[in-house]
Amino acid sequence: GMIVELGFLVAATLIAAYALVSMGRLATGPNTGGKTVSLKTMGLMALMAQSGMQLPAVEARLTLFDNVFADIGDEQSIEQSLSTFSAHITNIIRILERVDDRSLVLLDELGSGTDPAEGAALAQAIISYLRDKGATSFIATHYPELKFYADQQPGATNASLMFDVDTLSPTYEMAIGIPGKSNAFAIARRLGLDETVLDEAMRLNGAGSNEAEALLDSIYDLREKIASEEAATRLALHQIEEEKDVLARRLEQIEEERAQIMAAAQAEAQEKITAVEEELRQARWQIRDAQSLNKLKKVRKDVARLEEATAVTLAPPQAKSASRKKPDLQVGDVVRIKTLNTNGEIVSLGKKDALVVVGRAQMRVKLPDLIFKSRPAAAEPEVEHVSHIASPGLELDIRGRRVEEGLAEMEAFLDRAYLSQMPWVRIIHGKGTGRLRTAVRKALKQNPHVATWEEGKDGEGGAGVTVVKFAD
């Protein structure tokens, strides 16, 4: 055991591979599993960081401590008549006299060397004392009572060191939050202990302990499965990123090839134009009679056609003219209703309005609000005129929203629909508990734009839909 004073050490901000942040952490696991090495590593990391030394780690967050207390190793002494238990208790007494909330405490095999029941009880009491003092503690133990203590007490955490039973060697991997296994039976079986002795030992150990060990086995198996799945996911993501890069490079190549093809086409067309112009110049020198003049005119027409064809092939598409004459509307014409942004068919035509069929519904629409689309006999396309207030559509789906969110979204939708002169809309709120439906219909009664509303009919959603009609 040792006590290290840190009053003279220089504090520094460093990077390492673990964080000393918990009030108490209990490390469990088999013998030779690496518990003692882990305790020593934690203490050395803290001392090295506060001494301004480079840590052998990638990243860490470390607490600055005024003192580091450690009781690690067997301190039997014939000269001082101290047993293993007495030596540990002597060190612990000195530690408890000086520990405070700015201390790091490292205890190896706390409570060992005496009766297991008494040792476990004493160990729990010492850990509770350290926790009350606010000290940061790391404790290695084999006692199952301390595993349950760490699982149930706030401020305490289980940790375990992994052990490869097949090779009988530690992996030096620490799992936080999971108690460790002693693996005594597994190690004994691996080393060749008689099965009769092992069966008797497991029977004496009790069914409860064997079930707990089996549960831990399943937890570790699940942990390994999750780790392998995470590795597979990371590999798949890496492959997806590589494929994404390949596709991006291929797209760049396609764009380059397209530019090269366009440049080649332009060059070829220019060569043809140049050749025709040269023929034209030669023809001018050969004009002697009307026949030659006619030949010149034909060549000019050929040049004009070639230039026009070249311009159509290479020039970017131009916007269609919007100055076509609007034909008179007739019964049977397919028209677009500007306020609804949807198509319908004229079934009756008046002087100022028309009766239009939209799906299974019929409505009267003013003639200026209709845009000619097509006619069964001779269709002449008509350029669309976009309404100043775009239609938000005939439906609003607020299923799954909270009441406040759904009402706010509905109010904004109704305002846009009313301003775009829509005659009616459908609010889809679902059936559910009925809270959202009740709130919607209550809000519709108070909306100044709403003339009437009614529940959706069969085929329209029934009680899960409300059809809203606007005031003129």
Q: In sequence order, what DSSP letters do the residues of 156-196 get, joined into one string?
A: EEEEEEEEETTTTEEEEEEEETS-----HHHHHHHHT--HH
Phi, psi of 351 (to 5 degrees): -75, -35
Write the pLDDT tens digit of every residue in 200-252: 887 777 655 555 566 566 666 777 778 788 888 888 898 899 999 999 999 99
The pLDDT of 144-163, averaged and rounded, is 77
Spell 225-257 as b/e; 16+ CB within 10 A means b.
eeeeeeeeeeeeeeeeeeeeeeeeeeeeeeeee
| The pLDDT value given to residue 202 | 75
Least confidently predicted of 301-315, 373-387, 388-402: 373-387
The pLDDT of 162-173, averaged and rounded, is 71
| The pLDDT value given to residue 30 | 52
3-state DSSP percent of the chain in helix, strand and coil, to 5: 45, 20, 35
Residue 216 Cα distances to 173, 305, 381, 431, 460, angstroms: 16, 86, 75, 46, 56
| The pLDDT value given to residue 174 | 76
Question: Are β-strands 334-337 and 370-374 bridged in parallel, bridged antiparallel, or unpaired?
Answer: antiparallel
Least confidently predicted of 79-88, 132-141, 171-180: 79-88
129 or 74: which leads in pLDDT: 129
| The pLDDT value given to residue 215 | 57
Residue 138 Cα distances to 42, 131, 180, 266, angstroms: 9, 11, 15, 78
The pLDDT of 313-333, averaged and rounded, is 60
| The pLDDT value given to residue 280 | 82
The Cβ of residue 449 has, within 10 Å, a number of other Cβ atoms equal to: 14
Residue 194 Cα distances to 181, 189, 199, angstroms: 21, 8, 9
Least confidently predicted of 22-31, 33-42, 267-276: 22-31
C-alpha 27/C-alpha 36 separation (Å) is 9
| The pLDDT value given to residue 14 | 29
| The pLDDT value given to residue 59 | 82
Write the pLDDT tens digit of every residue in 240-251: 999 999 999 999
The pLDDT of 154-176, averaged and rounded, is 75
**Is pLDDT of 90 > 60?**
yes
| The pLDDT value given to residue 322 | 43
Spell 291-329 as b/e; 16+ CB within 10 A means b.
eeeeeeeebeeebeebeeebeeeeeeeeeeeeeeeeeeb
Q: What's the chain's average pLDDT?
A: 77
Phi, psi of 62 (to 5 degrees): -120, 140
Q: Please, which pLDDT band fits residue 383 given cuts at 50, 70 and 90?
A: very low
**Is pLDDT of 69 > 90?**
yes
Q: Please, which pLDDT band fits residue 47 given cuts at 50, 70 and 90?
A: very high
The pLDDT of 431-442, averaged and rounded, is 88
**Is pLDDT of 2 > 70?**
no
The pLDDT of 113-138, averaged and rounded, is 87
Residues 467, 451 contacting (CB under 8 angstroms): no
**Is pLDDT of 423 > 60?**
yes
| The pLDDT value given to residue 9 | 33
Least confidently predicted of 57-66, 114-123, 288-297: 288-297
Q: Which fold has domain 2-205?
A: Rossmann fold (3.40.50)
Give the contacts of 148 (CB within 8 A, at least 6 positions apart): none
**Is pLDDT of 387 > 50?**
no
Query: Which runs of E-coded beta strand occur in 240-350?
Result: 334-337, 342-349
The Cβ of residue 438 has, within 10 Å, a number of other Cβ atoms equal to: 12
Range 395-470: architecture per CATH: 2-Layer Sandwich (3.30)
Span 328-387: which CATH code?
Answer: 2.10.109.10
| The pLDDT value given to residue 105 | 93
Q: Please, which pLDDT band fits residue 76 given cuts at 50, 70 and 90?
A: very low
Please report the sign of the dihedral spanned by the C-alpha atoms of residue 43, residue 46, residue 50, residue 53.
positive
| The pLDDT value given to residue 466 | 92
| The pLDDT value given to residue 212 | 55
**Is pLDDT of 13 > 70?**
no
77 is written with which tokens? 């002494």
